[in-house]
Amino acid sequence: MQPDEFRRIGHEVIDWIADYRERLGDLPVRSRVEPGWVRSRLAPLPEQGEGFAELLADLDRVVVPGTTHWQHPGFYAYFPSNASLPSVLGDLLSSGLGVQGMLWSTSPAATEVEQHLMDELVGAMGLPDRFRGGGVIQDTASSAALVAMLAALHRSSDKWRETGVSGDETVYVSSQTHSSIERAARLAGLGEEAVRAVEVGPTLAMDVDALARQVESDVDAGRKPVLVCATIGTTGTGAVDPVREIAEVCARHGIWLHVDAAWAGPAALLPEQRALFAGVEHADSFCANAHKWMLTGFDLSLFWTAHPDVLVDALTILPEYLRNSATESGAVVDYRDWQIPLGRRFRALKLWSVLRWYGLEGVRAHLRGHIELAELLESWVAADEDWELVAPRTLALVTLAHRSGDEATRRAMEAVNAEGSAFLTHTVANGRFAIRVAIGAEQTREHHVRAMWEALRAVNGRPSS
Amino acid sequence: MQPDEFRRIGHEVIDWIADYRERLGDLPVRSRVEPGWVRSRLAPLPEQGEGFAELLADLDRVVVPGTTHWQHPGFYAYFPSNASLPSVLGDLLSSGLGVQGMLWSTSPAATEVEQHLMDELVGAMGLPDRFRGGGVIQDTASSAALVAMLAALHRSSDKWRETGVSGDETVYVSSQTHSSIERAARLAGLGEEAVRAVEVGPTLAMDVDALARQVESDVDAGRKPVLVCATIGTTGTGAVDPVREIAEVCARHGIWLHVDAAWAGPAALLPEQRALFAGVEHADSFCANAHKWMLTGFDLSLFWTAHPDVLVDALTILPEYLRNSATESGAVVDYRDWQIPLGRRFRALKLWSVLRWYGLEGVRAHLRGHIELAELLESWVAADEDWELVAPRTLALVTLAHRSGDEATRRAMEAVNAEGSAFLTHTVANGRFAIRVAIGAEQTREHHVRAMWEALRAVNGRPSS
């Protein structure tokens, strides 16, 4: 494809996306296809090339009906994954440049724009100064948790790089911690038995006394605690672990404290929400996903550590073909040593596009709008005779259940999901089946939330008000 | 940004990329900036939003001068990373859709298009039928190697998931194997001492007798061999390990055979190159990077395993909030269980765009063109009085050195790199400093290769012919 063809077809693709975003709200949120429906409609790979119009036609014919629309205003499932249009254009520029940022020398701008943004966000998010110079973009919070664990293992033993894990290491989560931490322990060779699921209190936040007891009992038994993961905004209900108190336990025992704020983290941009982040100044590492709730398309997970030297030392390996004078000068950062993969895209461009187009005030307005919608929903649920909150609202996540039991809750969720204008997912909180309403799509407005709520209410017999 | 603004600005961004690709060949391949140059020119994050024109202006002012141009026709460094324009548009569509393919149910088309392409490529690349249903897109070959190792560890012990690595496991590479395998062993908790670097023969391919001896010696010593990585096209010189003979050793001892063809793999599309891939039918897993030499922008690594059940069982974890009826029916594939991260982009779209726009014949022509250029360069080097090949040419990789020694070779490489119209990197092969010429940029033509060669020849005293 020559640049002139690209110009013409590229404009068509841009228009296709604009059209898609304009009509998005009229599509059912969840794809309704059966397993195999998409595949049965796909042609074998052509021997001879074809036009781009054929691909776009297949998008309309097969892909759009086979897609669950994460940008839909009625998407309340999982956590949001908002891909704003400036972010789309920033990523397009990254694809167009087609550079590899694995080393500083393989594309200095890719590294230095990223360093700049990560340091600027330390200030904008009220993060501790010890994170300056320790920021890097990871693909996901799962990978961030894994690199944090590897750094913690390396710090805990000067033999880890050479002889591997000892079999004595232990890792601490709560029953509400994201599964990626347990999975990271498995991948790092510790096994799931090394993971202690600490009890939670009634708000589903980690019980610090239980943590302290478990750590002491493990130490007494000759085990070696290496990492605690505290969560600000758990996946199930948005619970917030007491980071400051957890940090004290970690400090006493030399344990790496990783704070997972994958979803809630962007709210640190709001001065009025900073109390949620108390204690983060003591964390060894911290993660917040710009691709969840900071208008930036997947994949862009913000990760900071106060110990980049430990992280780099844990992950680095320098074969001959990657040697270069800039690296050897020590004056540059080579981000390949901060992550699992070797190669890396110029991901910072999409974050830069978002932060410049909206400005910090624009991003804050986006977050505040969603929080206000969640407060509204919370007030409606609290005032309802049939429904109740099963956990305190956190930011823009509301967790609710029907008072008459799990069956009614599930029936309401499934009916709304089947109707198509909203998509909800569930959790089990304090033993109850509960609907999670995670507000965060860019186009979601009050009338969408109200319609979803009225639809839920209408399922178990009460007429819509 | 509203869809109408996106339409207007998106056309400008497309045009910016078209302009960039048109003028690319006139820019110096390598960025000439000093560490800190880019950063010192960046503004703090704005409180209020600004126009997209300001970002594009900064791209021209700061990013382009700070970029090493991987799409440049004079880029021969590392391995190619060609991001063709149809691939750019396919990835743009993925960003525009903004869907998450972590589960089948979170976007059926993202999963089924990927399954379709991976199975179609099994046929087109002459891969064994046992890979059908076992294909998945990974971000990089490093991650592919890590998941292969995790699957191998799981297969080697039914206790690995619960209790972790035993400390007895061993892994086999050659001195020429990519560093990502040794790094994967470190990340998986085995430690570097678990990695055996098997001797190579004069062509720098793994010595199978040495491998067999090492495995037997380890088994006798009570160690547990879990994985051998064979490479088709090593990073240093393109050496090809004897996969078939290595597979026999693996079969005797129940060892997982991972074949890394990250760069050379796309050449399996060429019937006349299939001999290079002999023995791959016995591999437990195989990796080829579409983002190196298959016109598809980073990141898109093709990974197949003959044992997807083992891989999934090694990596799966199912918390309540990801439960859904499609997963529980067993009728679908959830690709989150096949990779390190949880979330995933609709990456298959960019591969689909490439394969449909060029057709298989178009991709083959692209590969053959580069191989022909490398054959030409090989013939020039072989006929030269001052230069010589230090390893046999493989496909489009030529490794050469000045006959008068490392200093002359290095001086020539550095002079050419400083001049700016070509970018070369080096390796150390059989103890000699050698220049690697990896031909693979989409725009590279004979006159570019000839000019680079004449420039190399001119450095150490001989006039250009």
ipTM associated with this complex: 0.96
User: What is the C-alpha separation between B27 and B69, in angstroms, rounded?
Assistant: 8
- A218 has pLDDT over 60: yes
A115: pLDDT confidence band, cut at 50, 70 and 90? very high
Pair B256, B112 in one domain: yes
A465: pLDDT confidence band, cut at 50, 70 and 90? very low
- Check if A97 contacts B (Cβ < 8 Å): yes
The model's pLDDT over B318-374, given as tens digits with 9 standing for 90+, comes to: 877 777 888 888 889 999 999 999 999 999 999 999 999 999 999 999 999 999 999
The model's pLDDT over A152-170, given as tens digits with 9 standing for 90+, comes to: 999 999 999 999 999 999 9
Number of domains in chain B: 2
Domain CATH number, residue A200: 3.40.640.10
Look at residue B430 in the predicted model and tell me its pLDDT: 87
User: What is the C-alpha separation between A185 and A177, in angstroms, rounded?
Assistant: 13
Query: For residue A2, which residues of chain B lie inside 8 Å, CB to CB?
Result: 85
By the 10 Å C-beta count (0-12 exposed, 13-18 middle, 19+ buried), A297 is classed as buried
The model's pLDDT over A272-288, given as tens digits with 9 standing for 90+, comes to: 999 999 999 999 999 99
User: What is the C-alpha separation between B184 and A436, in angstroms, rounded?
Assistant: 37
Pair A294, A380 in one domain: no
The C-alpha of A212 sits at a distance from chain B's nearest C-alpha, in angstroms, of: 23
User: What is the C-alpha separation between B210 and B335, in angstroms, rounded?
Assistant: 38
User: What is the C-alpha separation between B247 and B238, in angstroms, rounded?
Assistant: 20
Give me the residues of A, 178-207, that contact B with CB < 8 A. Answer: 178-180, 182-183, 186-194
Average pLDDT over residues A392-417: 97
What does the block give as tokens for B244? 């078939």
pLDDT above 90 as % of chain A = 95
Is B385 part of a structural domain of the chain? yes
Structural domain span for residue B153: 99-345
Average pLDDT over residues A410-416: 97
The C-alpha of B137 sits at a distance from chain A's nearest C-alpha, in angstroms, of: 14
User: What is the C-alpha separation between A229 and B10, in angstroms, rounded?
Assistant: 41
User: What is the C-alpha separation between A432 and A324, in angstroms, rounded?
Assistant: 58
> Which of these ranges, A300-309, A312-321, B43-52, has the smallest mean pLDDT?
A312-321
The DSSP secondary-structure symbol of A263 reads T
Pair B151, B283 in one domain: yes
Across the interface, of A45, A104, A180, the residue whose CB is closest to B120 is A45
Pair B366, B451 in one domain: yes
Look at residue A119 in the predicted model and tell me its pLDDT: 98
Residue B365: closest CA among chain A residues belongs to which residue? A48
The backbone torsions φ and ψ at residue B240, rounded to the nearest 5 degrees and listed phi first, read -120, 115
Please say whether the dihedral angle defined by the alpha carbons of residues B359, B361, B364 and B369, taken in this order, is positive or negative.
negative
Pair B185, B234 in one domain: yes
Pair B215, B339 in one domain: yes
Pair B290, B430 in one domain: no
Look at residue B464 in the predicted model and tell me its pLDDT: 47
Summary mean pLDDT of chain B? 96
Is A353 part of a structural domain of the chain? no
- A461 has pLDDT over 80: no
Look at residue B462 in the predicted model and tell me its pLDDT: 56
Average pLDDT over residues A30-57: 97
Pair A291, A382 in one domain: no
Interface with A, mutate which of B342, B358, B366, B399 (most A CBs under 10 A): B342
Look at residue B316 in the predicted model and tell me its pLDDT: 93
Pair B256, B401 in one domain: no
Is A361 close to B45, i.e. CB distance below 8 A? Answer: no
Is B21 part of a structural domain of the chain? yes
- B97 has pLDDT over 80: yes
Summary mean pLDDT of chain A? 96
Look at residue A464 in the predicted model and tell me its pLDDT: 47
Pair A259, A209 in one domain: yes
Whether B75 and B69 have beta carbons less than 8 Å apart is answered as yes
Look at residue A462 in the predicted model and tell me its pLDDT: 56
Pair A300, A436 in one domain: no
Give A284's contacts (C-beta < 8 A, 6+ positions apart): A148, A151, A152, A250, A256, A257, A258, A305, A306, A307
Is A37 part of a structural domain of the chain? no
What does the block give as tokens for B321? 């909030």
Interface with B, mutate which of A52, A60, A84, A92 (most B CBs under 10 A): A92
User: What is the C-alpha separation between A136 and A147, in angstroms, rounded?
Assistant: 11
Across the interface, of B95, B116, B164, the residue whose CB is closest to A83 is B95
Average pLDDT over residues B202-216: 97
Q: For B36, how many CA atoms within 13 A lie in the half-sphere containing its CB?
A: 2
Give me the residues of A, 337-396, that contact B with CB < 8 A. Answer: 340-345, 352-353, 355-362
Average pLDDT over residues B152-176: 97
Residue A229 CA to its chain's centroid (Å):
15
Task: Count CB-CB contacts under 10 A for residue A60.
Answer: 12
User: What is the C-alpha separation between B57 and B59, in angstroms, rounded?
Assistant: 5
Is B62 part of a structural domain of the chain? no
The C-alpha of B235 sits at a distance from chain A's nearest C-alpha, in angstroms, of: 8
Pair A73, A124 in one domain: no
- Check if B26 contacts A (Cβ < 8 Å): no
Using CA atoms, how far residue A315 sits from A310, A322, A440, in Å, is 9, 15, 35
Domain CATH number, residue B416: 3.90.1150.170
Neighbour order of strands in the sheet with A224-231: A135-138, A301-305, A285-289, A256-260, A224-231, A169-174, A195-198
Is B131 part of a structural domain of the chain? yes
